[in-house]
Amino acid sequence: MPTDQELKELVKEKYGEIALQSKEQNKSSCCGTDCCSTVDFSIMAEDYTKLSGYVADADLALGCGLPTEFAQIKPGDTVVDLGSGAGNDAFVARSIVGETGHVIGIDMTEPMLEKANKNVKLLGFTNVEFRFGDIENIPINNNVADVVVSNCVMNLVPNKQKAFSETFRILKPGGHFSISDIVLKGELPDNIRSAATLYAGCVSGAQQMEEYLQTIKEAGFTNIVVQKEREINIPNELLVKYISLEDTMAFRKTGTGIFSITVYADKP
């Protein structure tokens, strides 16, 4: 088993590569995993193009939800985007907070930060910044953020309890988060989990949904609400490479699977 640090280095290496690719190349999953199948792998990502503040060059199709759509951001808010990548969610948040607000993106991958900062410079924004940092040790003072958002990133963090505790720390009392992520319902058989990991590398770090919500609760959050839930449908064309068609159809009926959820929670 790789150590937590080794896992982080693997994520940094992969996302460093992704930052240099096009959106079309990255559509294979929320984690940009490579695959030679003819299956349409863009099912993880959701469509940002109609959202205010959308910046095409910042959209690498790496998310699994639209957390800013549910985050109840207000003009003048300070918003922190954890795992900000090229800045997609940060720029959407900036369009809501306006000139009186502030947006801080946190990412541990230098090529992503370079891409995000290049976009900031081109757009001339003065109230958006991107910082190098680890979500398990966020480089932000206590009680700064009104809102925290994150998109398909927490599942990549080895110590999720520490990540949510850090999220709690940087939020102001009365602040809240809206986070989109990948979770599991039920135990996936090993062969199906292998297929899922090929389909979306981020699945390998996903928790059971109940465990994920409990982690949030243990960090001190209240009013925890699943705002949106969407099943990630692994294509039959991929599953039948690992199991029979009969077993594939039986699996479909179990209710077990991979889900994208968007979760809201308050800091008291």
pLDDT at 268: 98
Residue 211: φ, ψ to 5°: -65, -40
pTM over 0.75: yes
Q: pLDDT averaged over consecutive 10-residue blocks of the chain (268 residues)?
A: 58 53 48 40 69 82 87 98 93 97 95 92 95 96 98 88 97 98 82 59 75 97 97 75 75 80 98
Which SS3 state, helix, strand or coil, does residue 174 take? strand
Residue with tokens 């990549």: 156
Domain boundaries, the chain: 4-186+206-231+255-266
Domain 4-186+206-231+255-266 matching CATH 3.40.50.10310: the answer reads no
Calculate ∠ Cα 89-45-211, nearest 5°: 85
Q: For 137, which DSSP code?
A: B
Q: Name the percent of the chain in helix, strand, coil, to the closest 5.
A: 40, 25, 40
What is the C-alpha to C-alpha distance for residues 159 and 213, in angstroms, rounded to an integer? 14
Q: Tokens standing for 52?
A: 């205010």
Q: Tokens standing for 24?
A: 């079309």
pLDDT at 8: 58
